[in-house]
Amino acid sequence: MSDFAKQLNRALQAMYDNASACKDGILSPVAIDRGLNLLAKLGYPENLLEKLPPDSLEIAFPCANPLSRITSLAPKTILDLGCGAALDAFFCAHSLPCLQRITGLDGSSKLLAKGVELLRHFPSEADKISLFQADLNHLGDSLFGQLKTSDLILMNGSFNLIYDKQKFFAELPSLLSKNGTLLIYDFLLTEELPPGFSDEIDNWLWNIGGALSEVELEKLITTAGFKVVEINEIERIDPVARCEIVMVHQIKNFTAPSSIR
Ligand SMILES: C[S@@+](CC[C@H](N)C(=O)[O-])C[C@H]1O[C@@H](n2cnc3c(N)ncnc32)[C@H](O)[C@@H]1O
């Protein structure tokens, strides 16, 4: 792992650990929507938001609301990579009658602890949810070897934080069921970033420094045996667009070339 990747990991963990402790939310000094306003604006159903303790709303950092897409896919099992304080996990467990299990992984132990606290209020949903601390940059680690495959892998705001996306895609298929879906909500580049922009850790923290263009993404995933099913632009804020990206792994018994393993 390069020094940059290690520093990025430390900075992300510190930022999200701090976010879990910040009473008014990490974004309170910034004039952008957060908490209930953000979630309502993204279209999370108000009847679900009303059920949640207000503190938990301040530690939600979704890029978009995945619930209609996930409902239409009707997965029985979900792996939420970068689940934060488990709000999407709760919403899925509450809203999908066919759901059997959802596993959430995140690098921030403090956000996960908030997730555990949240789920104490909802025992029937909590029965279907397991949360673990893990580093998504090392999907080859032993924890991941113990995970069962899932019908759907969700990444709501965590994909652009992965440092080595080529390695990530090479390791991902072992976690996905046959015909399973990878569902990403994150920014895609609509313009080139200024030279040197992605060399600054700070520029990665809010999901821009690690953003790819659609062409870069297609090239990367094709090498790893994935295929884009749909890319939907939700909002354009040049030089990026907030997008929903739906992918499947298309090659049976695919083994990534050794250069990307
Ligand atoms: C934008 S937040 C989204 C959180 C959550 N999906 C939500 O909707 O609230 C990104 C999440 O990715 C997690 N994360 C970032 N890099 C990670 C890594 N290398 N391994 C595990 N989790 C990571 C952060 O701790 C954070 O919870």
Q: By alpha-carbon position, which residue is closest to atom 21 of ligand 1? A: 107
* CATH number for domain 3-260, candidates 3.40.50.150, 3.50.50.60, 3.40.50.300, 3.10.510.20: 3.40.50.150
Per the DSSP assignment, residues forming a β-bridge with 155 are: 184
Q: By alpha-carbon position, which residue is closest to atom 17 of ligand 1? A: 107
Can you give the pLDDT at residue 259? Answer: 45
pLDDT per residue as tens, the chain (261 positions): 789 999 999 999 999 998 888 655 445 444 456 788 889 999 999 999 999 998 889 899 999 999 999 999 999 999 999 999 999 999 999 999 999 999 999 999 999 999 999 999 999 999 999 999 999 999 888 777 789 999 999 999 999 999 999 999 999 999 999 889 999 999 999 999 999 999 999 999 999 999 999 999 999 999 889 999 999 999 999 999 999 999 999 865 555 554 443
Per the DSSP assignment, residues forming a β-bridge with 30 are: none
- Which of 2, 20, 61, 144 most suits a substitution to test ligand 1, by most atoms within 8 Å of the C-beta? 61
Residue 61 CA: which ligand 1 atom is closest?
9
Nearest in space to 91 (alpha carbons), one of 123, 58, 125, 59? 125
Place of tokens 């792994």: 249
- Which of 16, 165, 184 most suits a substitution to test ligand 1, by most atoms within 8 Å of the C-beta? 16
How many angstroms does the Cα of residue 24 sit away from the middle of ligand 1? 19
Can you give the pLDDT at residue 24? Answer: 55
User: Domain locations in the chain?
Assistant: 3-260
How many angstroms does the Cα of residue 158 sit away from the middle of ligand 1? 5
* 8-state DSSP, 121: T
Number of CB atoms found within 10 A of residue 72's CB = 7
Contact between 13 and 161 (Cβ < 8 Å): no
Can you give the pLDDT at residue 36? Answer: 87
- At residue 166, what are phi and psi to the nearest 5 degrees? -65, -50
How many angstroms does the Cα of residue 260 sit away from the middle of ligand 1? 24
Measured in whole angstroms, the distance separating CA 2 from the mean position of its chain's CA atoms is 22
Measured in whole angstroms, the distance separating CA 221 from the mean position of its chain's CA atoms is 17
Residues lining ligand 1, judged by CB closer than 6 Å? Answer: 9, 12, 16, 60-62, 82-84, 87-88, 106-108, 111, 135-137, 156-158, 161
Can you give the pLDDT at residue 11? Answer: 95
SS3 3: helix
